[in-house]
């Protein structure tokens, strides 16, 4: 009974690639957070493998080994909160076009390390998107090269050993960010229409309702990460996790050892994902927000068609620790309960039935 009709199908308009997006974003440049304690944030993130690059009284910037001046910006604030992220675009003309969309700022000078110009946008779920052009690069940071493997049929390492250093694994770059949103259709449509994101793979309920969309950048013939942005159906707009590329699987393993020895809270891993194929390990920061180490992700060019798959906890990894229930459990508070009730009434993409189906699947 494996006819073509048994394959899952998408029952909604979105996600779908847009035939003529406003611009095609080039790179995920940075994330923007608010935190009540910058020292505590720096302690976790440097144990995780990032490096503090700039700091002033109320702002902390961290970077990876790649030449980007920063990939993680933290503003001091009373409450811990994820605000949004930055995307590099290709030209001033791109900024001009983006400044014309609903709710966009005009073109502004960037006051953060690397400078350049930006347009600030707000997506339909309320996340900030800073479209950046003309940022000056910094010098790359050194990192250890990938280990050389002795495969059974290809032996390259003779009279030599594997001894990666027992230290936080150097993060090479910020890889992707995953958001949960209530307004799924509008938010997916906005990223495909205005920033050129292409849905790589979609996970759907048995009735074809999309639950998670993994989206890549449209770099044409240049291979792009399987996902730079992923959008999951939730009951409110919130950060799910962000992911950072390491040099090899031993760096992922060493990251786990170091973060465990330093007392941080583990979230899930090590395993290998199915959609995107990354070898992954997830850790919680001091505010319970998940940060993923990964290596060996899939790369797609723009010609690869969108895949549709049934969603389930088993569909999250090929091997490794089973996804713990705590991984998808929302942080419940008075504010999130209020958001749940408000969004159930308001969002066209949310129904009690859908939420119960999701809770049964992952609860
Ligand atoms: Fe991820």
| Cα 45 to averaged position of ligand 1 atoms, centre (Å) | 17
| Cα 140 to averaged position of ligand 1 atoms, centre (Å) | 24
Residue 330 pLDDT grade (very low, low, confident, very high; cuts 50, 70, 90)? confident
Model confidence, pTM: 0.96
| Over residues 124-128, mean pLDDT | 98
| Cα 40 to averaged position of ligand 1 atoms, centre (Å) | 23
| Cα 145 to averaged position of ligand 1 atoms, centre (Å) | 23
Which stretches within the chain are classed as H helix? 38-48, 92-98, 184-195, 249-261, 334-346, 352-362
* C-beta of residue 126 within 8 angstroms of C-beta of residue 187: no
**Beta-bridge mates of residue 309:** 203
Question: Is it the case that residue 6 has pLDDT exceeding 80?
Answer: no
Question: Is the residue at 279 inside a domain?
Answer: yes
Give the model's pLDDT for residue 5.
58
| Cα 275 to averaged position of ligand 1 atoms, centre (Å) | 10
Q: How many domains does the chain have?
A: 1
| Cα 106 to averaged position of ligand 1 atoms, centre (Å) | 32
| Cα 80 to averaged position of ligand 1 atoms, centre (Å) | 21
| Cα 7 to averaged position of ligand 1 atoms, centre (Å) | 25
Nearest to 12 by CA among 194, 307, 211, 302: 211
| Cα 343 to averaged position of ligand 1 atoms, centre (Å) | 25
Question: Is it the case that residue 1 has pLDDT exceeding 60?
Answer: no
Question: Is the residue at 31 inside a domain?
Answer: yes
Omega within 30 of 0 (cis) for the link into 15: yes
Question: Is the residue at 115 inside a domain?
Answer: yes
Question: Is the residue at 161 inside a domain?
Answer: no
Question: Is it the case that residue 3 has pLDDT exceeding 70?
Answer: no
The Cα diameter of the chain in Å comes to: 67
Question: Is the residue at 71 inside a domain?
Answer: yes
| Cα 12 to averaged position of ligand 1 atoms, centre (Å) | 24
Average pLDDT, the chain: 95
The pLDDT tens digits for 38-95 are 999 999 999 999 999 999 999 999 999 999 999 999 999 999 999 999 999 999 999 9
| Cα 178 to averaged position of ligand 1 atoms, centre (Å) | 7
| Cα 290 to averaged position of ligand 1 atoms, centre (Å) | 9
Nearest to 62 by CA among 109, 30, 27, 110: 30
The pLDDT tens digits for 139-177 are 999 999 999 999 999 999 999 999 999 999 999 999 999
| Cα 120 to averaged position of ligand 1 atoms, centre (Å) | 25
Question: Is the residue at 143 inside a domain?
Answer: no
Question: Is the residue at 285 inside a domain?
Answer: yes
Question: Is the residue at 254 inside a domain?
Answer: yes
Question: Can you give the residue range of the structural domain that contains 42?
Answer: 7-136+167-362
| Over residues 89-109, mean pLDDT | 98
Give the model's pLDDT for residue 4.
53
| Cα 100 to averaged position of ligand 1 atoms, centre (Å) | 32
The pLDDT tens digits for 277-286 are 999 999 999 9
142 DSSP 8-state letter = P
| Cα 155 to averaged position of ligand 1 atoms, centre (Å) | 32
CATH of the domain at 17: 3.10.180.10
The pLDDT tens digits for 250-265 are 999 999 999 999 999 9
């Amino acid at each position: 009974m494996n006819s073509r009709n048994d394959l899952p199908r998408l029952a909604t308009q979105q996600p779908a690639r847009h035939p003529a997006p406003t611009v095609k974003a080039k790179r995920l440049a940075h994330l923007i957070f608010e935190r009540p304690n910058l020292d505590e944030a720096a302690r976790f993130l440097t144990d995780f493998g990032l490096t503090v690059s700039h700091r002033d009284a109320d702002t902390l910037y961290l970077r990876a080994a790649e030449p980007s001046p920063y990939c993680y910006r933290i503003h001091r604030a009373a409450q811990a909160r994820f605000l949004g992220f930055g995307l590099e675009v290709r030209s001033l003309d791109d900024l001009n076009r983006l400044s014309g969309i609903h709710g966009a700022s005009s073109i502004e000078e960037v006051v953060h390390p690397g400078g350049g110009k930006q347009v600030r946008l707000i997506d339909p779920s309320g996340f900030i998107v800073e479209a950046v052009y003309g940022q000056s690069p910094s010098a790359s940071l050194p990192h250890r090269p990938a280990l050389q493997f002795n495969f059974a049929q290809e032996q390259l390492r003779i009279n030599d050993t594997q001894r990666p250093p027992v230290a936080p694994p150097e993060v090479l770059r910020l890889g992707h960010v995953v958001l949960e949103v209530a307004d799924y259709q509008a938010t997916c449509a906005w990223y495909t229409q205005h920033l050129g994101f292409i849905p790589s793979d979609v996970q759907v309920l048995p009735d074809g309702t999309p639950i998670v969309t993994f989206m890549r950048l449209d770099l044409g013939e240049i291979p792009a990460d399987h996902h730079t942005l992923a959008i999951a159906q939730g009951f409110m707009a919130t950060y799910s996790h962000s992911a950072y590329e390491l040099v090899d699987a031993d760096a992922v393993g060493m990251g786990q050892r170091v973060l465990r020895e330093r007392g941080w809270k583990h979230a899930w891993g090590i395993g290998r994902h199915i959609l995107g194929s990354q070898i992954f390990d997830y850790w919680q920061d001091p505010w319970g927000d998940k940060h993923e180490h990964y290596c060996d992700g899939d790369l797609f060019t723009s010609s690869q068609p969108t895949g549709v798959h049934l969603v389930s906890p088993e569909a999250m990894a090929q091997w490794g620790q089973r996804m713990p229930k705590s991984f998808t459990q929302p942080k419940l508070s008075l504010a999130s309960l209020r958001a749940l009730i408000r969004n159930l009434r308001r969002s066209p993409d949310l129904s009690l039935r859908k939420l119960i189906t999701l809770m049964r699947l992952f609860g």
